[in-house]
Chain A
Amino acid sequence: MKAAPVEKRVELLFEVGCEEIPAGMLPKAEQELRTNIEKLLIAENLFDGVSVETFGTPRRLVTWVQGLRAKQPDVEVEVTGPPKSVAYDSVGAPTRAAQSFAEKQRVHVSDLYLVETAKGEYLAAKQAKLGRTAEQILVTVLPRAVHDLAWPRSMTWTGLDGARFIRPIRWIVAVLDGRPLKLSVAGIAAGRTTRGHRFLGASAIHVRNFPDYEKKLQQNGVVIRPARRQEKIATELEAHAKRGGYRVHEDASLRMLVAYLNEYPSVIQGDFDPAFLSLPDEILVTVMRDHQKYFAVEKKNGELAPHFLAVINVDKDSKGLIRAGHERVLRARFADAQFFWQSDQKCRLADYLPKLERVTYESRLGSYRDKVERIRGLACWFTEQWFNLGMLHAHVAEADRAAELAKCDLATEMVREFTELQGIVGGLYARAQGESDEIADAVYDHYRPVGLEDPIPRNLTGCAVALADKLDSVVGCFAVGIVPTGSSDPYALRRAALGIVKIILEKKLPISLSLAIGAAAKALLTHKPKRGVAPDQETQILDFILDRAKFVFRERDGFAYEEVNAVFRVGADDLVDAQKRLAALKAIRKSKNFEPLAVSFKRIRNILEKANIASGDARQVNPALLENGAERALYSAVREAAAKVQTHKRAGKYQEALETIAGLRKVVDRFFDGVMVMAENEAVRSNRLALLAELLREFTTVADFSEIGGEERR
């Protein structure tokens, strides 16, 4: 084979220069831009052997494409013309139609040929389609790739007919193989002139290619690669920590954020008055981290140190003015927090309860004052249930008090200023005002868990309040038609449902989900907004929560899809019980008897379905009608095993129960080998079906094996 000629490969530099793009959106935009360009190059048959890299800074989105063919490969295409009947006359000579087709295709009539199509024979011509150059393709592909970026909220900066983007686009650089591309994005013609850092660089820099661009921008105060900026920040944080003898409060997401907030990040240290350390750490860290984007630092013993590390967007602070400015801002913030800490506590936490009247939860579900009443009722209901089930440390009065206080901090100045501290501030105030640890911790923790990794509330009272709050949110929202769809879940109901599941499982709480949903529905009806929940909505809510539970069992606990389905098919109203059954099922699956038995169960289900016998059908077996030995053997084995399984189940020994069931494999196999279920005699047939129905009924109460057994169904 002849070696292919060495094709010329070229590189592209493409930069979209903008006014400051929100830092939080940059990582996704980088990724999306790369995907868009790759997709468009694939569609143009230009992607082979190409690497696309994208980088974002607040003022630019940069693409570097390497190994790009200078031109698409040429391809031969077939163009069909008129049908054979029209193209040739009775003696087989080409007609005018054939001639004009040839002219149009710029080929000789003798080059035309016939092709077989679905509609018959047609005239055809070969056409060489010359590949277009990368330049020709890129001038349309690049603007398109930028245009197709999806932003949470775009804008226009000229007028209604102007371009839309996340922030105004101000310049474009597009250089292919050293030459500028003639294209425009958002009405701005591309060139080869970029801009440096706003304060550290030149305002016009000519660039030839990506390496040249990266080098020149580095000299002009812009580190183009986000990973390099993160490294620079990490190194400087470490250097400050070492010099000061403290530890930086580890915070990967803050590091990422500041890397995207700055084109040339540098770290400076500032100090604050140690007197502020009398405020709780939670408040100090939140002010520094969430409001000022500073890294908090701690001493070796874990206590906060009166310093902070700020990431600035310039290379130095030679006069110390920047440091002084940041210190001043932080001082004012801390002074505010201190002021709130004192003024909020001029009255007691419970005194804020009436003010919750003015804090809306959801317009149709009323204020937080209304929500608190519902949560109180529900938290008490939970604790009462637990106490009656023998959990003697479940205190109704404590749950009631914690629920009463839980939302009070929403009306405090501290939370109105630092909203992310909701719950935490309430807990801190409760403790400072002499509430018991149980109640203060419950208030502090009751928003938890906020995700799969987040811990659940520390104590039982906190769990009761958290469950009540979350369940009320889910039930209330579903009742007024707020149901999460796709990416839209404004009231974070999925998170709430996940929280419910996590708390129940990790605290091993005995709860009937359907009864709990019923209790929440009742609270919604007896308290404001006095709204009923339809039975089908209650079912919908249960399914919604069970979906989250399935997710937890699969993703976190590693149970197989069909195992979870087998257990949930039998019911998962009590999640802790479902978890035990799952564990037993997973264990028994390894035994050699299990899988064949599961297949038999599937077969039984199919037979019953074909005979129109519903699952759970209660027809009785008449022992007198049992004819065959294998049949009688199965009957007595089922009777015997059923009694054992019941005993094991009642003792919560699911694995023993499943082992007993697995032990039936031999008699079941013998039954199917020797007995014809669909016998001629109707009474006999019916009796056999009854036997199978009983078997299925008795032995699918732990898990429905027919969900597991291999190929028979689906």
Chain B
Amino acid sequence: MKKFIYITFAFLFSTLFSGCDNGGDCNINNVSYYRIGFYNIDPETGKEVKYTFPETVNVSLVVNGQDSTIVNNITEATDLALPMSYTNECDTVIIEFGTIPDSLYVEHTNIPFFISMDCGTGMYHMITDIKQTGNLIDSVAVIYPQVNFDAHENIKLYIAQ
């Protein structure tokens, strides 16, 4: 019986050092980003492979009618993480692959979300559709429509051969 009491107290004592998380999912600036991965199809195997773009990549967002550069001259790009508008239902993204521009039209819903008193309120999104201009982009697929603080890849962007 005493052994049982000791075990119980030992369990409770150990929980003092194990539990009591703050329950929050605090994120810097409470801004959620959607992630785009570059892919192409390996001609030999016919399977998709991660694509590293050999030239520089620039990315602009159309903000209130003006182009706003958000990614400038990155090299060996394999993916992008971009913010979404809190109020627009469609964001226009201009991606320049070297000298070839392509546009993405990302349709989404906006979900303001109370996280906790410690973390405040953040903005989540749901991607509902995506279109592209097809200059260098062959096709595009939404693989994870929820945009939140999790680091999921949301969109696969297939580069033409």
B is bound to A: no
